[in-house]
């Protein structure tokens, strides 16, 4: 028996625009630079769809529509930042309900300093996305699924 007894649930959106570009976010959190999909942690008392909508408002000031479920982690994944915590990640197709209210950059980590909480968004051509550009193993797995099955 192991001593893993806690879980963290993360919910992410797969946003594809009319130019066939996928939205990614570069963040600096917990003294770590990371590239991931937009989204974040499920809070007690909310469902995954509500979580993704809340995260979009908090991070992008953006109302979204959450569509079809794309993937939920089906393998054991320890949390990257927390000891003895298991990660469960849920991914949905999502769309912006209005014109972009956030600034999208052309370069990775488009912020001046590595300060916890800094983030920047990028629209990446779908054909230019590859698993190793993402920091976390589950995001890498999702990219492989997109390569194999499409969105």
What CATH code is carried by the domain that includes residue 125?
3.90.79.10
pLDDT score recorded for residue 3: 53
What pTM, to 2 d.p., does this model score?
A: 0.92
State the Cα–Cα distance between residues 35 and 27, nearest whole angstrom. 6
In a domain, 70, yes or no: yes
DSSP string computed for 9-72: EEEEEEEB-TTSEEEEEEEEETTEEEEE-SEEEPPTT--HHHHHHHHHHHHH---EEEEEEEEE
State the Cα–Cα distance between residues 24 and 143, nearest whole angstrom. 11
In a domain, 12, yes or no: yes
Number of domains in the chain: 1
Question: Which contiguous run of DSSP H or E holds residue 149?
Answer: helix 137-149
In a domain, 1, yes or no: no
pLDDT score recorded for residue 1: 44
In a domain, 134, yes or no: yes
Please tell me whether residue 6 adopts helix, strand or coil conformation: strand
Nearest residue to 7 (alpha-carbon basis) of 68, 96, 66, 78: 78
Residue 106 belongs to what domain range? 6-149
In a domain, 39, yes or no: yes
Please tell me whether residue 139 adopts helix, strand or coil conformation: helix
pLDDT in tens, the chain (151 residues): 455 569 999 999 999 999 999 999 999 988 889 999 999 999 999 999 999 999 999 999 999 999 999 999 999 988 888 888 899 999 999 999 999 999 999 999 999 888 888 999 999 999 999 999 999 999 999 999 999 999 8
């Amino acid at each position: 028996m192991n001593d893993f007894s806690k879980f963290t649930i993360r919910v992410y959106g797969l946003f594809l625009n009319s130019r066939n570009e996928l939205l990614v976010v570069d963040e600096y959190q917990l003294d770590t630079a990371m590239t991931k999909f937009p989204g974040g942690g499920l809070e007690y008392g909310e469902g995954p769809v509500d979580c993704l909508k809340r995260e979009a408002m908090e991070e992008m000031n953006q109302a979204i529509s959450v569509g079809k479920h794309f993937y939920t982690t089906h393998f054991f994944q320890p949390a990257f930042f927390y000891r003895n915590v298991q990660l469960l990640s849920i991914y949905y197709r999502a769309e912006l309900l209005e014109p972009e209210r956030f600034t999208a950059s052309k370069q990775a980590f488009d912020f001046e300093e590595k300060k916890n909480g800094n983030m920047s968004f990028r629209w990446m051509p779908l054909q230019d996305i590859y698993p190793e550009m993402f920091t976390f193993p589950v995001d890498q797995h999702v990219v492989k699924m997109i390569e194999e099955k499409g969105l």
